[in-house]
Amino acid sequence: MTEDNTVGDDLKRQAAMFYNSTEREKTQEQTTWRFWRKRRLLVALLAFFGFFNCYALRVNLSVAVVAMTEPVQTELENGTIIYAPEFEWSSQTKGLVLSSFFYGYLITQLPGGWLAAKIGGNRVFAIGIGATSLLTLFTPPLAHTSTALLIAVRIVEGLFEGVTYPCIHAVWSRWAPSEERARLATFAFSGSYAGTVVSMPICSLLAHYTGWPGIFYVFGIMGLVWTTIWWLVVKDSPEKDPHITAAELKYIQESRGTQSVEGSRLRHPYCAMLTSGPVWAIVMAHFSENWGFYTLLTFLPTFMQDVFKFETSQTGWLSAVPYLAMAIVLQFAGHLADWLLKRGTFTRTNIRKIFNCGAFLSQTVFMVAAAYASSVVGCIIFLTIAVGLGGFAWSGFSVNHLDIAPPHASILMGLSNTVATLPGIISPPLAGSIVTDKSAEQWRIVFFISSAIYLVGAIVYGLLCSAEKQPWVVENDSDASFDTDGASVTTTRGGYDNKAMDHSEI
């Protein structure tokens, strides 16, 4: 009798396994197109549009200032028609207005990372973009009131937007499985470059058809709409998302590891971080990448005009080409890095080194090639390749914070992005002091400096980089019980007890 029961139980278990397998296949077939069922992908998509809005809000003034300072037809009280700019700003005033954003942006990198670790990156991320969007709506009336008020509001916008990059790493430290960090993070970051590519021509159209104030109203409203959606949809962690499936939650936790949901008691080992070789490898790489990128962004049209006598009315489109290249390469590089990691072709550390150092060495070569290019087309190709290859570097250093110290990733991103903001302040005046007579020889010095910084960045990163969790990392393990879609799931330090039938797509 016992033997018959045993055989019967075995047959029941086999039948149940077959049924569950069949149901799993049906579920996967029905939900593969519904990407929002994978909540981490929905977070990545919304983060993409978040950074899209970030850069649209950042560059809108660069286009608007042209319309604000160009001569327009004006009728005086006596009926006389004259042509005068709406804002008669000197070149120094325009430079101050355009650069004011970065003074605020530089200040809040580290505080933003600290705040994200304490109260949750998703909320601080939303507040940063939402506040910037709201202030953007007030830009036109403040500009008409006083130039000083315009500069002040741009500084405050920079203060709020400065928290965004550190905050997103706090989000990924909880949402990103370890083998998907590169693709999720780089996809989100690519929104920055896509936002620039799209917003620059749209700003030009808005300035033409609605007047320059329309630029700030349209993008300000877009930012507020995004903020509302992000606030309602994205939770601080997958454990707090009521719509996540039990299977996806278990997959994220098994890959990421169980960590404390609340960060209020987390202590950051600042001394250990500031004396860590892998941390400074990231900082140097971030600085190097941004130096070359900001140099090209700022001076490409001027360089073409000085050296090749290149005149065009479509400088906005020309300036957008490097961003487009970066946005495309970022997608490919992120997926390739995670694919190599999943296959076990290289260790995580070697993948970060190969992608980062390979990109920097290639950028060194193409920067020099651009300096000696004999034609406009050749020079643009070399420079676009140089910037585009930076997408591979972003699959190295930009996710390395999450590798070495997940609980402290937002702080580390704040540190590296603070240093990486300096090139935007230092490189333009340095290049301006070098190029005094607009000669090709002087422009070559500018490119040689960028190439040398890339080379130093490759050497430092190659020597000091690590993608292993560092011994100084502090994590608060805790038990947490929660329900997701009616599935009772309990997490402990030792494992998971999933009482729901696990047949959802991860």
The pLDDT of residue 22: 41
495 pLDDT above the threshold of 50: no
Residue 458 to residue 403: CA distance in whole angstroms: 19
Q: Whole-model pTM?
A: 0.76
- What are the C-alpha distances in Å from 475 to residues 120, 212, 267, 401? 15, 49, 9, 15
Closest by alpha carbon to 147, among 204, 79, 100, 207? 100
The per-residue pLDDT for range 217-276, each reduced to its tens digit, is 999 999 999 999 999 999 988 999 999 999 999 999 888 765 544 555 678 899 999 999
Strand partners, 429: none
Asked if residue 96 has pLDDT above 60, the reply is yes
Which residues lie across from 75 on neighbouring strands? 81
Q: Does residue 487 surpass a pLDDT of 50?
A: no
Q: Going by DSSP bridges, is the β-strand pair 487-491/81-85 parallel, antiparallel, or unpaired?
A: unpaired
Mean confidence (pLDDT) of the chain = 81
In this structure, is the dihedral angle defined by the CA atoms of residues 86, 319, 452 and 461, taken in order, positive or negative?
Answer: positive
Residue 6 — pLDDT band, cuts 50, 70, 90?
Answer: low
Residue in the block written with tokens 């990392």: 473
Confidence of residue 437 (pLDDT cuts 50, 70, 90): confident
Q: pLDDT tier at 103 (50, 70, 90 boundaries)?
A: confident
Choice among 111-120, 217-226, 443-452 with the minimum mean pLDDT? 111-120
Question: What confidence tier does 389 reach under pLDDT thresholds 50, 70, 90?
Answer: confident
**Rg of the chain on CA atoms, in Å:** 26
326-365 residues labelled b (16+ CB within 10 A) or e (exposed): bbebbeebbbbbbebbeeeeeebbebbbbbbbbbbbbbbb
